[in-house]
Structure 1
Amino acid sequence: MPEHTTVAIVGGGPAGLLLARLLHLRGVACVVLESRDRAYVEQRQRAGILEQGTVDVLRAAGAGDRLDREGLVHHGIELRFDRRSHRIDFPALADGASVTVYAQTEVVKDLIALQLAEGPPLLFGAEVLAVEGADTGRPTVRYRSEGRDRTLTCDYVVGCDGFHGVARQAVPEGGLTTYEREYPYSWLGILADVAPSCDELIYAHSPRGFALHSMRSPSVSRLYLQVPNGTDVAEWPDERIWDELDARFAVDGPWRLERGPITAKSVLPMRSFVTEPLRHGRLFLAGDAAHIVPPTGAKGLNLAAADVTVLATAFAELHDTGSTELLDAYSDTCLRRVWRAEHFSYFMTTTLHADPAQSAFETRLQIAQLGRIADSPHAAAELAENYVGLPLTPPVGEPTRAPAAPVG
């Protein structure tokens, strides 16, 4: 393991791994430090919807082979409300765009395999203790590996270590402003060994609460129920879960929810969070270390991919030309996209969920809004365009200059 590198990446989730891969392809030296072991990282259940821009950047990074073979391309979603159903046709409403169902666990496996075979150093079981000297020309990352305390000096640090990570905590008090919202409900998520009951995702508004039908593969379904905060999964035996899903997905007309063995259950709190700026000195924040969205809009992993695409291009510009212009613009560039995604996720969440404190009047407003989406091509197009995602900025695969020799 080197003692110095150009970019030290704290966190080996999808953001950190994708950034490392993109930097490697542009000749920028980096090291990834991940506190957990490989098995844990590859088994973390997270998002499963990839925007077209995310698919494009994974392909450009060389991580598209299995994605193209096994990913499920979806050309729309289904909204259910007031016992009616309406399909949002992405290609017709959003200039031919689509999304792909491919679990974050699989993205991570693909990137790890590439990293270990071809890429820069990736160290599992490396617990980062502190990030120091972000205001200096040579930051230091202190970490513990195999029972020994070690140091890694670098030119820049990128924190991809999540909401509870060390990187954001390295910013002095007053250096960041945070904006957040806690929602008064959670999701009970399940994995079930049963073929999906639908060809595309179903988002259901119900007086009983929100429900979502998704999938992981042609034989594995992923489903969610809105539940109160603090819910214990032990309160939800399998039969109760299936009965409640049946009730919330109900529509007038024939439709059947297929049931099968539930292999995993978990409760996911709902939160919106943004920190500004996304940079302090030579420390940059990306992914969940910088922002969190409720999963209703399917934006979390996609925002992380957008962050590191911008950042990788900025580091490549520095490497190739010596210019810091793109690095200096990183925070402003990403925050424009982040806030738009936050707004869309907030809209989807508050429109589809039943707030325990809301009145019957507010419920009727939700149904009226969903009816507008179903009846107005303009409203449907706005939802579709936000769901499939904005183009990545800068465009994937566009070098700023001809690649130079590796640095660091």
Structure 2
Amino acid sequence: MVVLYGLGRVAIVVDVARGEATTVVVVGAGVAGLTVANLLHRNGIGCVVLERHSRARVERRQRAGVLDFAAEQVYLRSGLGDRLLSGAPRSGLLEFRVDGVPRLFDADLHTDGRAGRLIPQQLLVRRLVSTLLDNGGEVRFSAADVALHDVDGARPHVTYRDPDGVAHRLDADYVAGCDGFHGVSRARIPPEVLTTYRHSDDVGWFTVLADSPPPRHPLLAINRHGFAAHFGRGPGASRFYLQCPPGDDLGSWTDERVWRQLRLRLADDGLPDGPIVDKAVVDARSFVVDPMSHGRLFLVGDAAHIVPPMGGKGMNLAIADADVLARALTAAVRDGDDGRLREYSPTCLRRVWNDQEFSRWMTEMVFHGADETTAGPFRRQLARSRIDRLFTSSAAARAFAELMAGTA
């Protein structure tokens, strides 16, 4: 609301935020925020989701594509599985192609069928959005200038501007910060409160999304030319990964170079190409903050932690956080029991560090096993022995499969 006070020839303009109230404000409409909101809504807890991007952009963003067994169970327990996971195949088979020789790892065999599913993240996001809206939930897209206030007080509030530039204020009991690494939520926690852990590898990922046929099984290729991977992103799309120097020049990766390197590293001269629709260079980095909460603000997913892409744990950790938080908020709102909220951060961080270790272990295995220049001959041989052990030791295979499934 804009109020004009006339004082003679002078007009004083006061921009007054329109006030509303809800139980939980969820900042961010990625997998983390939408999962929190859907779970809360199913439990009868009022919430509003604020997202700075448009709905079209949110639903097009390409990210992960592997949902582990533990994350799948979150949706099944809540009664959302039929709608969210329809048509998503199991992902129990993983091909390691070492120096052109294929070896198929069967995770189902070592986890009693508790493998995950293959589902493109943008498809999961679209289903989460439509499920929430169809059930009467609320997502406010294109919310600009989102700011969090009084998160360490008894009654926090969030301000933002709608697409017409009108200022709004949402009073709440709690705020879920699900707006990613670059979002505004984590910045509201005083630096002296946080312990921040960072680690960067001496390798990077060059990622490519292409309109080309997916592989029969997720594929990891290790050879002297460097690491490469090939994953499906739907019936006619593929996500490829290529090992590269950290901070590599994106412009140097022409389409012709991409396909040449993929065929070389995947040891597949007949790999069909297709239009490349997205390219990016991502450093393999790790990031964790402790604690994941402050006052009535709770960080979820990438706002609190980043894991290397290898292992596919980023999206799954976000879902795990969302499940823990939704249960804790439900107990606090329904039963007046805030014990789970006090334990939210240590509960989540136990899994975060477990998956950090797994992602780091797997990253070193495939990168060091491929590139002797980066790793050196000794570490290269160590990495290759790790791969070999997956196929020669049932105990090692079971441990690896359970970590993949999110059950270890």
Counting only pairs closer than 5 Å after superposition, residues 258-337 of structure 1 correspond to structure 2 as: 258-337=272-351
The range that moved more, 219-228 or 101-110, is 219-228
Letter in 1 for 2:204: S
- Residue identity in the other structure for 1:348: M
Question: Equivalent residues in 2 for 1:42-53 (5 A)?
Answer: 42-53=59-70
Larger Rg: 2
> Of residues 172, 187, 211 in structure 2, which corresponds to 1:193?
211
Matched residue count? 387
Structure 2 counterpart of 1:366, from 364, 369, 383:
383
| Displacement after TM superposition at 1:60 (Å) | 4.6
Offset at residue 62 of structure 1 (A): 5.3
Asked if 2 retains the 8 angstrom alpha-carbon contact of 1:21 and 1:61, the reply is: no
Displacement after TM superposition at 1:130 (Å): 2.4
- Select between 92-101 and 289-298 the one with higher mean Cα deviation: 92-101
Per-residue deviation at 1:262? Answer: 2.5
Unpaired segments ≥5 residues, structure 1: 392-408
Hey, what's the Cα distance between the residues in 1 that align with 2:78 and 2:27? 20
Distance 2:242 2:21 in 1: 47
Bigger mean CA offset, 122-131 vs 42-51: 122-131
Bigger mean CA deviation after superposition, 115-124 or 206-215: 115-124
Q: CA RMSD in A?
A: 2.0
Letter in 1 for 2:359: S
Whole-Å separation in 1 of the counterparts to 2:19 and 2:38: 17
- Which residue number corresponds to residue 169 of structure 1? 187
- CA distance in structure 2 between the aligned counterparts of 1:149 and 1:225, rounded to whole angstroms: 45
Equivalent residue letter for 1:166: V
Q: Rate the CA distance shift 1:33–1:234 in 2: closer, same or farther, 3 A.
A: same
Q: Helix, strand or coil: the match of 1:36?
A: coil
Identity %: 43
Indicate yes or no: 2:19 matched with 1:5. no
Separation of aligned partners in 1, 2:335 and 2:21: 22
The SS at the match of 1:337 is helix
Contact kept in structure 1, 2:205 and 2:283, CA below 8 Å = yes
Question: Matched residues in 2 for 1:224 and 1:88: separation?
Answer: 20
Q: CA deviation at 1:75?
A: 1.7
Give the superposition deviation at 1:71.
Answer: 1.6
Q: Do the aligned partners of 2:19 and 2:168 also contact (CA within 8 Å) in 1?
A: no
Give a deviation string over 1:211-250, Cα, whole Å, max 9, x none.
1110012322221111122223332222321221122122
| Corresponding residue of 2:157 | 140
Look up the equivalent residue of 2:63 and give its one-letter code.
Answer: R
| Counterpart among 195, 210, 224 of residue 207 in structure 1 | 224
Q: TM-score, normalised by structure 1?
A: 0.90
Answer yes or no: is 1:15 the counterpart of 2:32: yes
Relative contact order, higher structure (CA 8 A, sep 6+): 1
Residue in structure 2 matched with residue 73 of structure 1 by the alignment: 90
Larger mean Cα displacement after TM superposition, 174-183 or 218-227 = 218-227
TM-score computed with the length of structure 2 as normaliser: 0.90
Distance 2:387 2:270 in 1: 23
Please give the alpha-carbon distance, in whole angstroms, between the structure 1 residues aligned to 2:374 and 2:266.
Answer: 22
Q: Are the counterparts in 1 of residues 100 and 221 from structure 2 also a CA contact under 8 Å?
A: no
- Correspondence 1:28-39 to 2 at 5 A: 28-39=45-56
Is 1:88 matched up with 2:76?
A: no
Conserved? CA contact 1:128–1:141, under 8 Å: no
Which deviates the most, 88-97 or 283-292? 88-97
Quote the Cα distance in structure 1 between the aligned partners of 2:303 and 2:183. Answer: 7
- Cα distance in 1 for partners of 2:157, 2:292 equals 19
AA paired with 1:151? R
Which range moves more in the overlay, 284-293 or 75-84?
75-84
1:227 maps to which residue? 244
Which residue of the other structure, out of 179, 190, 196, is the alignment partner of 1:178?
Answer: 196
Cα separation, 2, equivalents of 1:268 and 1:224:
10
SS in 2 for 1:164: coil
The separation in 1 between residues aligned to 2:222 and 2:78, in whole angstroms, is 38
8 Å CA contact 2:84–2:128 kept in 1: the answer is no
Question: Contact 1:135/1:280 (CA < 8 Å) preserved in 2?
Answer: yes
Quote how far apart the aligned CAs of 1:117 are. Answer: 2.1
The verdict on how the C-alpha distance between 1:99 and 1:201 changes in structure 2, with shifts beyond 3 A counting, is same
Change (3 A) 1:178 1:124: same
SS in 2 for 1:264: strand
Shift of 1:46: 0.5
Using the TM superposition, give the Cα deviation of residue 332 of structure 1 relative to its aligned residue in structure 2, in angstroms: 0.9
The answer to whether the 8 A contact 1:63-1:111 is kept is no
Opposite residue 322 of structure 2, the aligned amino acid is V
Q: For residues 69 and 172 of structure 1, what CA distance do their matches in structure 2 show?
A: 42
